[in-house]
Structure 1
């Protein structure tokens, strides 16, 4: 991985970001992947760890004033970035998941953008040729990381809180004080505890879950407006703004050209 001095306009003039988004996607709560052709995208930050692997040319990540070129790279959740690439594989890991915890145990610093260790990049390359279901891909990844290192145990109270939050997506949800009472913490202490455990604020995580639920519904054939309302967005425009902020591309530009793997 190295710092690049070429301007963004030069990168775009080479056609690296002039294509539409098109490819295959698999998604469920906790894990998702995209494989295919990249298109235009603006600077964005999503609440999932992302591992990106080249399919042909090396790609470039732009984060702030830094441009990094690599064959395989890790982008932590919440880090603003833009991707300049042709065809690539992206894997997304919910930071609260066991799989994300296992992945981060293999990295020097899970809080910064970095090149993936060759062993992990090679493993992800093998997934490119797999026709497995999204659930089997998740299990393959989990088995790989568990095999190579013992995973740290998390606070046993976290699964209880995550279960409550996920069950409430699209409905009236518990107030922070009510969640705190479930695990005998004060309101203020709960906010710090949740961020320590997950790496993100409660409000951001809830929005991320709503976005994933809406995205799943659209990929399953629902209209954008029905999916937005079912996931708890005030309207379709609210959903579109959130989607653009977290993925750097509008749902209208991305979703029509995707095929879903179940």
Structure 2
């Protein structure tokens, strides 16, 4: 059965973002997440730091500037929290380059689910459940590895998840973790690869996906997500995804777990 043409799809499962569709008109950007890109057919192209990479499946490490062109074919993109079990395992145990080919049997299952969705053999909710279950199985491998993210860093991420609608100051989070501000900042960046401030911005961006359909406009969405105004939200969003919120959401259908 031939694949049918349809709009781009955005899925959100916890702090993992999933995109399924075609990508071309994005500007060079970088983000907190570890990115896995999988082509359903042929290859895609990633440009980063003057290099051009062509691949069927590749990892882009956190905070690596890049531009993605799916070459007219649909791609499946996962954005993993690098401090999560799966993000840490892939980033620290399976890859070591800023941009790197990624070959796993797991990838074939992801392709199969995406193709089944495009063929209308499964619906969006079933596709999302299949991806989540696949990640859960992969997590078993992650847990067998030495997962050395500091417990205080993991606790700080969990604290932010519980207060995702608030702006948590450096002094507050440091006190909660019983560390000085300077020690907390050093420890946090050592284990996540990003500053506490940038990570908190990323958390707010991801939480905005949950709020998109219930918000009347971009200003309300920005405020509900913890941003000062729509300009700050749009600027941060474009720096992270290479597209404005209107460009991404306007061309996509959003499915939230």
TM-score category by the smaller chain?
0.7 to 0.9
Equivalent of residue 35 in structure 1, options 20, 23, 34: 20
Q: CA deviation at 1:133?
A: 5.7
The secondary structure found in structure 2 opposite 1:89 is strand
* Structure-2 change in CA distance of 1:106 and 1:160 (3 Å): closer
- The one of 98, 105, 110 equivalent to 1:112 is 98
CA contact (8 A) 1:102 1:146 kept: no
Matched pairs, number: 240
Of 72, 79, 84 in structure 2, the residue corresponding to residue 92 of structure 1 is 79
Give 1:22 shift.
3.6
Q: Give the SS at the match of 2:94.
A: coil
Q: What is the distance in 2 between the residues matched to 1:194 and 1:119? A: 32
Q: Which residue of structure 1 lines up, in the alignment, with residue 37 of structure 2?
A: 52
CA distance in 2, matches of 1:176, 1:230: 21
Q: Aligned residue for 2:47?
A: 62
Residues 178-257 of structure 1 aligned to structure 2 (within 5 Å): 178-220=172-214, 222-257=216-251
Structure-2 change in CA distance of 1:161 and 1:135 (3 Å): farther
- Cα separation, 2, equivalents of 1:227 and 1:53: 30
Give the 3 Å change call, closer, same or farther, for CA 220–69 of structure 1 in structure 2: farther
Tell which deviates more after alignment, 140-149 or 197-206. Answer: 140-149
1:160 alignment partner, one of 150, 155, 159? 155
Q: Distance in 1 between matches of 2:159 and 2:67?
A: 33
Using the TM superposition, give the Cα deviation of residue 180 of structure 1 relative to its aligned residue in structure 2, in angstroms.
2.0
Please report the RMSD computed on the Cα atoms of aligned residues, expressed in angstroms.
Answer: 2.3
Partner SS for 2:186: helix
Structure 1 runs (4+) deviating above 6 angstroms are none
Tell me the TM-score normalised to structure 1 length: 0.82
1:124 aligns with 2:110: yes
Q: Which runs of 5+ in 1 are unaligned?
A: 1-20
TM-score, L = length of structure 2: 0.84
